[in-house]
Amino acid sequence: MTEQQWPEVYRKLGVKPVINAQSWVTSLGGSLMRPEVLRAMDEAATAYVDMMDLNRAAGEVVARACGSDMGLVTAGCSAAEVLMAAACMTGDDEARAEQLPDTTGMKNEILLFSGHRNRYDGAFEFSGAKIVEFGHGDSARPYHLESAFTDQTCAVAFVIGPFIKQGIGLEKTIEIAHAHGVPVIIDAAAEVPPRENLSKFIKMGADMVAFSGGKGIGGPQSAGLLAGRKNLMEAAYANSLNLNSPKAGIGRPMKVSKENLVGMVAALELYMDTDESAIIEGWRSKSDYIARKLDGIKGLKVVIEDTPTDRQGPQPVIYFERDWKGPSPAEVRQTLLDGEPSIRVGGGGIRNEINIVMVNVRDGEEKVIAERLLEALS
């Protein structure tokens, strides 16, 4: 993208667009919305609507996509985490919903595997809940979870994401939590695609699951999805959409605009009809292009990786071998970042490799990336 092609809105503000080969990260704008989604949002902006009716209707679309009793469009996965925690503490008791984040008189402990601690888990505590860890670092045994329950436990949280260890696994976690009569709430923010994950965790017995709307689903960057069991979802509504009660709930600072609600629904419906394999093949052919361009450089090993636990979609990964004589991975990343357009690549995660995430690389940008990589590596 040359300066002439930068969207005028960004140019006027003096903000430079970037080539995003780092994934659906918040820091680079999530994902881009398809024209159909933008048109739906435009249209939504032309009329007033009863927001409760709109929320319930949008929620039904979410529930259908997730195979859950009920759904809700939230202001991102983080907001959904706040609402899941709140729902597990208050149930459908409106007085309790008004009381949060003061949890006096409520069960307020959320159990979380130590290996699942992450930069977003503060959202659970935002509600007033307390996280109680179990396990040792990146490992846990079923008895660690068993012995963590107290009479204050309101939920067991579970996190699924790249490079995040699974501990005792979701199935065992659900089994143990349910034996204690405690719900399981899941942060699966970036786990879509594949589409099947929208309903997979609910099918496994999870009580509530949260996804980002502005990552792989292609909705507004500040939207998300929450799906789950009827009683807990009604509780989530009570904590977020008590629109006419005297005191707004904990969800008030996380309201979703009518435009975002409609945009999220449009994106989700499009996504449900998308040929995922064609999209993934597109990522693969861009990966192949870059790998071919970097082929045969002494000291570098370029591999196309596609492990769902670590990598989001097929992508070229550049490993710097012992006989590599050129700039370090950090220097290469910096050179790419400093150039114009600025190119942001993945931070590796295994041994300081550079991974070029394809999910947000637009057609033709793979050529720019390959060219700039060759310069930066020389």
Ligand X SMILES: *Cc1c(COP(=O)(O)O)cnc(C)c1O
Binding site for ligand X (CB under 6 A): 26, 76-78, 118, 120, 159, 161, 187, 189-190, 212, 224
Which of 290, 249, 205 minimizes the C-alpha distance to 100?
249
CB closer to ligand X out of 81 and 353: 81
The tally of CA atoms less than 13 A away on the side-chain side of residue 137 is 1
Q: Tell me how far, at minimum, the Cβ of 126 lies from ligand X, in Å.
A: 12
Which CB, 68 or 212, lies closer to ligand X?
212
Find the shortest distance in angstroms from Cβ 69 to ligand X: 22
Between CA 268 and CA 264 the distance in angstroms is 6
| Burial class of residue 101 (count of CB atoms within 10 Å of its CB; 0-12, 13-18, 19+) | middle
Rg of the chain's alpha carbons, rounded to an integer?
A: 22
CB 153 within 8 Å of CB 186:
no
CB of 363 to ligand X, least distance (A): 25
Q: Which residue is nearest to ligand X (CB)?
A: 76
CB of 371 to ligand X, least distance (A): 30
Closest to ligand X by CB, 211 vs 319, is 211
Q: How far is the CB of 47 from ligand X (least distance, A)?
A: 27
Nearer to ligand X, 111 or 189 (CB): 189
Using the minimum distance from each CB to ligand X, give the nearer residue, 193 or 224.
224
d(CA 349, CA 377): 20
Nearer to ligand X, 78 or 173 (CB): 78
What is the rounded distance in angstroms from the CA atom of residue 216 to the CA atom of residue 34? Answer: 12
Q: How far is the CB of 52 from ligand X (least distance, A)?
A: 23
Dihedral angle at the C-alpha atoms of 32, 355, 187, 69, nearest 10 degrees?
A: 50
Cα torsion angle, 140, 87, 90, 231, sign: negative
d(CA 221, CA 80): 14
- Environment class of 332 (CB within 10 Å of its CB; exposed 0-12, middle 13-18, buried 19+): buried
CB of 294 to ligand X, least distance (A): 28
Residue placing its CB nearer to ligand X in the complex, 226 or 345: 226
